[in-house]
Chains A and B, each alone.
Chain A
Amino acid sequence: GIQVEQSPPDLILQEGANSTLRCNFSDSVNNLQWFHQNPWGQLINLFYIPSGTKQNGRLSATTVATERYSLLYISSSQTTDSGVYFCAVGSNQAGTALIFGKGTTLSVSS
């Protein structure tokens, strides 16, 4: 099946810093999503981005499907950005569910 690798596994930032999270995948995809899991366990959908670039406030994401990677950018980080960021992909095989990477754990301190 499709493999999803996220890097770095852990990231520690001071408030105000910028960061880039990476997601590599092993096969063609028709679905790619980024999620944030907050410290209480709730998973929030950040982006649905099988290709191209999107921005939402301080967050933006880019997926280069032909090169099989996606990047999540966090600018001017805040303590509320702390948590685990997951990349999840669905392959071009019809009707498949998302496969999740192991996540990047982000800690932002004030």
Chain B
Amino acid sequence: GENVGLHLPTLSVQEGDNSIINCAYSNSASDYFIWYKQESGKGPQFIIDIRSNMDKRQGQRVTVLLNKTVKHLSLQIAATQPGDSAVYFCAEKDKAAGNKLTFGGGTRVLVKP
């Protein structure tokens, strides 16, 4: 079936630097994308979302970019902090699939002090 995948399984970043997490998706019918953060022993936490009629959306310290031409999604975290250490998942929705989220395999972000 269609899957959302990630290029990098693990990302090590120095505290204070910016982080970029990438995600490739294959379902061209997907029209809504979400980034979740999952800390050890916890459920996924909503970070930011973007609809397919947008290219960029900004939140607090986070920015999501969507390139529909190459089916690519990225999450940028500014001034990465130790609390940002977690596994990050991108997920997508296809309008025809209702409220079902399709997740990728995740990227682990390790913040070095």
Do A and B bind?
Answer: no
Chain B residues packing against A (C-beta within 8 Å): none
Chain A residues packing against B (C-beta within 8 Å): none
